Structure 1
Amino acid sequence: MSEGVRLAKRLRVEVQEARANTRTSSWWDQVDVWRHGFVARQARLFDFEQFGFSGYLSEYARKRRVHRLNRNAGVLGDKLVAGLVLEAIGTPTPAIFGVMEAGQVVPLDRASERTDLESLLRRHDRLVVKPRDGSHGHGVLMVERRDGATVVNGSTATPLRPERLDRMLVSEFVEQHEYARSIYPHATNTIRVMSLREHGSGRPFVVAAHHRFGTRSSGAVDNTGAGGLTADVDVATGALGRLAALPGGYLPVGARVRWSDDHPDTGARVTGTVVPRWPEIIAEIKRTMSRLPDFGWVGWDVAVTADGFKIIEGNPGPDIHGLQLHQPLLRDTRVRTLFEARGIVSAGRR
């Protein structure tokens, strides 16, 4: 998709969402949202009446200014490079088996030979095939062998065409912990953990986290844009808050956020669930950040397993709709101090 087509599509959705907003507020209110750097969708996600515009990091600042906190963002932007770097510094991360080229898997180690995807699948039962530069779950394939058939994203009807997967990354499938599987078993349900560095000391800290869960709408992925759900994670305790269904994902464009205690497809209780090994996850995120001095703003995707956890990837330009839906970032004094010092938000914007 060309940049022009992508922009036209985004503009069309923005107008559609703005019109939906005016059913309950005036056009002047919508213009005020734009004037403060937010997109129309955020008028329904964020509580501007309670926290004001100044409590939230605007979409304009996220897109245009936050990148100042990272150097060499491409290191984490390329999932192959990122995976190799994380492995090298000792971060628990899924094994990378190779990269697709001309219908075959090109291995990353000297001992292995090129092989076809089906042969690799017979050895590992489940694989993840994803773009090196993808985001929001786009293009991710969960591939497995089930009763002698190849299943792609839960369906035998989806053909696997290795010749069309050039440059795609082939990696280990992470088997999630029972608590996450019991809530929704058909996707790997991950936690987005947002980390920054304190202004002055440079010490890493975790400011917020939210747990994503797949649904029948999202299929094999848990991203909210694809129809997944999100629950706040208490950074201090690892306890989950209420589950939110978002407009433009699980709900139609123009709808209001829908809150619940239970997963709508499985009926499993979410609110109050405590993420296993939460203190260890926080400690590892901080340790990993300390080994990556070029990065000051990263959203880490984490999957908890039966015997530990895996850091799936780090996102140097993360979407923060889900995070700020649960808590405005600029209410944290560490974040505000850092962002004001780096010129990301105005010192007078309170």
Structure 2
Amino acid sequence: MKRSGQEVKKVAAEQRLIHKQEFRITVRNFLSHLNRIAGMVMDDLRRSGGLSWRQSLRAWRYGFRRINFRIYGLDRSGNPADYLSYYQALKQMPINDRFSEIIRNKLTFPLMMRHYGMPTPEIKGVIRDGLFYPLNPAAKLDPLKFLKESCPVGERLVIKPIWGWHGTGFISVTHTRNGYQIHGEDISMHALANIVGNLKYYIVTEFVTQGEHGTRLYPDTTNTIRLMTFWDTEKSEPFIARVVQRIGTSRSFPVDNFKASGKGGMSALVDRESGELGPAARVDVKGYVTWYTEHPESHAQIKGAVVPDWIKLRESILSYAHRFAFMPCIGWDVVPTHSGFTIIEGNSNPGMPVMQVHGPMLTDPRIERFYRYHSVIS
């Protein structure tokens, strides 16, 4: 056995090197943070906020984008300090620290979830620079071979960016007896192959068919439930901070994402105890909110609807959050299916408008303590 201490010195030297690298990453993340703030200001100035200059200055003083200020109704009443501002939401990023990169990655995080036996869509493979790499066997296929071999008649696939947000880049491909379709619209195999050939970093998964609950709300999009879990350091357990049901519309098609653009879907608050839905909010391009007790297109009842097997779903997500205790903040996108539920993906920095359109987050003492502990608020 060596007693010269060389190995100990080597380990110590490597740790110092790692700390230097982590410092560089911290600086890089700080600069990225400043860039995001600058981007927020520039984007806000380009938009027609619809607020007076007095209200605009008030929104910026509290760290809000003007459109979010209006969505939350703060241009009319309410205490801005009760809401997590856009600036504070950016400060959420260090909560999961470098593990955020895992959650944001739509390939890595689902593979980790599968390792723990969590229900996730089957991953068929990845697309890089137009070539498809199936997970098994590991042999690359050009776009035409990919469509012929991996998307036979009767198959429906989802193709989406490995790093993405707000449903941007989402592609649903179906192979029917009459040929291929994108989002239900016919397309030739060669035209589809041309689209696939231009994709750079994408993941290919099975399409998850939603159950009766989501289909009844709006059948043309997969309507996901967003559950936000936080880790309570005092009790050493996760808790659900807020739950919303996202519901698609013809404006948001082919996804259900809630956007302040006039093209987004709807958001209904889900009661954490009963799983019952409240009325759904939809936001127009100027940030004005319209509330619906039933869907304006499908005419399905929204208010009063109940998420099926809610208690089982809720407790399952809490148990999963316990396994990921080293990631204190996770937004889970879940689809109730005919046989249970499937977790589509996770989010490390979940958007606030879809949550806070239903009311402030910081009036909940447990949420307030969480954000204070992580220095998001002071």
- Quickly say closer, same or farther: Cα 1:183–1:223, change in 2 above 3 A: same
Q: Of residues 80, 87, 112 in structure 2, which corresponds to 1:85? A: 112
Contact 1:244–1:258 (CA<8 Å) still a contact in 2? yes
- Quickly say closer, same or farther: Cα 1:174–1:232, change in 2 above 3 A: same
- The alignment partner of 1:73 has SS state of helix
Mapping 1:1-350, distance limit 5 Å: 13-15=43-45, 17=47, 19-22=49-52, 27-48=53-74, 51-101=78-128, 103-110=130-137, 114=141, 116-122=146-152, 125-156=155-186, 159-160=191-192, 161-225=195-259, 226-246=263-283, 251=284, 253-346=285-378
Cα deviation 1:126-153 (Å, max 9, x = unaligned): 1000000011100010111234221112
Aligned pairs, how many?
A: 335
2:136 counterpart letter in structure 1: D
Contact 2:213–2:336 (CA<8 Å) still a contact in 1? no
- Quickly say closer, same or farther: Cα 1:6–1:219, change in 2 above 3 A: farther
| Matched residue, 2:21 | none
Contact 1:21–1:254 (CA<8 Å) still a contact in 2? no
Cα deviation 1:95-119 (Å, max 9, x = unaligned): 1010124544312134888551343
1:245 counterpart letter in structure 2: R
- The alignment partner of 2:166 has SS state of coil
- The alignment partner of 1:68 has SS state of helix
Shift of 1:33: 1.3
CA distance in 1, matches of 2:37, 2:363: 32
2:258 counterpart letter in structure 1: T
Moved more, 229-238 or 146-155: 146-155
CA distance in 2, matches of 1:166, 1:19: 35
RMSD: 2.5
Moved more, 65-74 or 160-169: 65-74
- The alignment partner of 1:212 has SS state of strand
Shift of 1:36: 0.7
- The alignment partner of 2:66 has SS state of coil
Contact 2:251–2:264 (CA<8 Å) still a contact in 1? yes
- Quickly say closer, same or farther: Cα 1:168–1:111, change in 2 above 3 A: closer
Contact 2:294–2:303 (CA<8 Å) still a contact in 1? yes
1:67 counterpart letter in structure 2: P
- Quickly say closer, same or farther: Cα 1:343–1:19, change in 2 above 3 A: closer
Cα deviation 1:169-227 (Å, max 9, x = unaligned): 00010000112112211111101111101132331110111111111111110111242
Moved more, 103-112 or 275-284: 103-112
CA distance in 1, matches of 2:70, 2:358: 13
Contact 1:56–1:329 (CA<8 Å) still a contact in 2? yes
CA distance in 2, matches of 1:6, 1:28: 24
Shift of 1:167: 2.4
CA distance in 2, matches of 1:139, 1:105: 17
Contact 1:126–1:173 (CA<8 Å) still a contact in 2? yes
CA distance in 2, matches of 1:175, 1:245: 24
CA distance in 1, matches of 2:200, 2:153: 21
Moved more, 276-285 or 169-178: 276-285
- Quickly say closer, same or farther: Cα 1:7–1:38, change in 2 above 3 A: closer
CA distance in 1, matches of 2:226, 2:201: 26
1:331 counterpart letter in structure 2: T
CA distance in 2, matches of 1:59, 1:7: 9
- The alignment partner of 1:21 has SS state of coil
CA distance in 2, matches of 1:184, 1:327: 24
Shift of 1:69: 4.3
CA distance in 2, matches of 1:338, 1:10: 25
- Quickly say closer, same or farther: Cα 1:335–1:69, change in 2 above 3 A: farther
- The alignment partner of 1:151 has SS state of strand
| Matched residue, 2:23 | none
Contact 1:18–1:30 (CA<8 Å) still a contact in 2? no
Moved more, 7-16 or 187-196: 7-16
Contact 2:96–2:348 (CA<8 Å) still a contact in 1? no
